[in-house]
Amino acid sequence: MQNVMCLSNVTIRVPEDLKGRMERCKSINWSEVARKAFEDTARKEEMQCAAESIKKLRMDSKEEWDGAKEIRRWRDAAR
């Protein structure tokens, strides 16, 4: 079985001086550098959105929640 990945093209603009510097670094795969940067940024944004959602859920919750008490409850129930 073969793993086939569909890729999309993205065009970005960089200043001419940066483009020149990039061209002098022939051993660097700039597409891979960009892919990693895009992936890292997307992951950070997703984590930030998830954290904000969790914070909103906690604020909207009518019940006070205590992590230490919850852990104790589960440990006691396992006995």
The pLDDT confidence band at residue 1, using thresholds 50, 70 and 90, is low
- pLDDT of amino acid 4: 82
- pLDDT of amino acid 60: 83
- The total of structural domains in the chain comes to 1
> In this structure, is residue 72 part of a structural domain?
no
- Could you report the per-residue pLDDT of 28-73, keeping only the tens digit for each? 999 999 999 999 999 999 999 999 998 998 888 777 778 898 899 9
> In this structure, is residue 38 part of a structural domain?
yes
> In this structure, is residue 75 part of a structural domain?
no
- pLDDT of amino acid 61: 79
Nearest residue to 30 (alpha-carbon basis) of 42, 18, 17: 18
**Which run of H or of E encompasses 48?**
helix 30-60
> In this structure, is residue 71 part of a structural domain?
no
CA separation for the pair 58, 65 (Å, rounded): 8
> In this structure, is residue 36 part of a structural domain?
yes
CA separation for the pair 75, 67 (Å, rounded): 12
Query: Residue 41 belongs to what domain range?
Result: 30-60
